[in-house]
Amino acid sequence: MNFYFQEEPVIQSYLNKITFQDLKPDFLCIKCGKIFQSEATLEDHMTGAHSFKQNTFTCVICFKNYEQRKQLVSHQLRVHDSSKKTQCSKCGKILCNKYSFLLHNKKFHPLMPSIN
């Protein structure tokens, strides 16, 4: 019994079921999860739907885009670096840096003028 010739119709029927669509990779939008058939349609989607520009720098944590690398680094230090965060002793809010803490205090906990 020759198994090669018996298996061939099974393989051939499987190959006949594979379509071009099965062989194409999918391109996933990291912003909204939509899947596109080509890189070009994904780029068009990103430009139109998410105001994405080529040659931008993207934060890998929150996916915000910046035109310059130094803007991205500044964002990551300000927003995602937990060593710089300060907690407000009056309301418990956690602020990303000393400057934000000062603005928060000025806006939400201003010093009350003393009444003589």
Lowest mean pLDDT among 2-11, 17-26, 91-100: 2-11
The CA distance from 96 to 80, in Å, is 8
Q: ∠ CA 24-28-31 to the nearest 5 degrees?
A: 165
Q: What is the DSSP letter of 110?
A: P
Backbone φ and ψ for 33, nearest 5 degrees, come out as 85, 0
Q: 72 is written with which tokens? A: 């991205």
Q: Does the structure show a pLDDT above 60 at 9?
A: no
Confidence of residue 25 (pLDDT cuts 50, 70, 90): low
Query: Could you tell me the end-to-end alpha-carbon distance of the chain, in angstroms, rounded to an integer?
Result: 110
Higher pLDDT, 107 or 26: 107
**Contacting residues for 30 by C-beta, under 8 A, at least 6 apart:** 63
Q: Which domains does the chain have, with CATH numbers?
A: 57-108 (3.30.160)
Kind of pairing, strands 35-36 and 27-28?
antiparallel
pLDDT digits (tens, 9 = 90+) for 35-52: 888 888 888 888 778 776
Q: Does the structure show a pLDDT above 50 at 1?
A: no
The pTM (predicted TM-score) of the whole model is 0.36
